[in-house]
Amino acid sequence: MDEEIVNEKIEQIHEHLTATQEHPVERAASRWIGEAEAIARDLVEAEADSEVVHRRLRHVLELLDNVDETGDEMANEHVTRAMHVARDVVDSIE
C-alpha cells in the first residue's frame, strides 16, 4: 500500500476513534478506545516507518478487541470502522 494511502487510512482510524467521544460510551470501553485513539493520534502527528506503523496498529487492534460494547450504536459503528481500516493497513504491510 502506498505511503500516502497508509497515512490517509491512519487519519481515518484516528477520526473514527475521536468521533466516539461525541457519544455516551461505557467507562470500560472508553478506556480501551482512549488508549487506541492516543496511539492513532501519535501515528498521525509523527512520521513512522512501516514496521512501526504495523506494530502500533496491531496494538490498536488489540486494544479495540477488548471493546465488547460501547453502549451507543454510533460509537459501536465508529469502533468497527476503525478496526476494519486498521486491519486493512496491517494486512497490507505484512
Q: For residue 94, is pLDDT > 80?
A: no
Instruction: Give Cα separations from 51 to 57, 90, 92, 94 (angstroms).
Output: 10, 10, 12, 9
- Among 30, 78, 38, 92, CA closest to 60: 38
Per-residue confidence band for 1, with pLDDT thresholds at 50, 70 and 90 = confident
| Model confidence pLDDT, tens digit, residues 61-84 | 999 999 999 999 999 999 999 999
Proportion of the chain above pLDDT 70, given as a percent: 100
pTM above 0.85, yes or no: yes
Domain assignment of residue 51, given as a range = 3-93
- Count of the separate structural domains present in the chain: 1
CA–CA gap between residue 18 and residue 70 (Å, rounded): 14
Question: What is the per-residue pLDDT for 66?
Answer: 97
| 41 in Cβ contact with 14 (< 8 Å) | yes
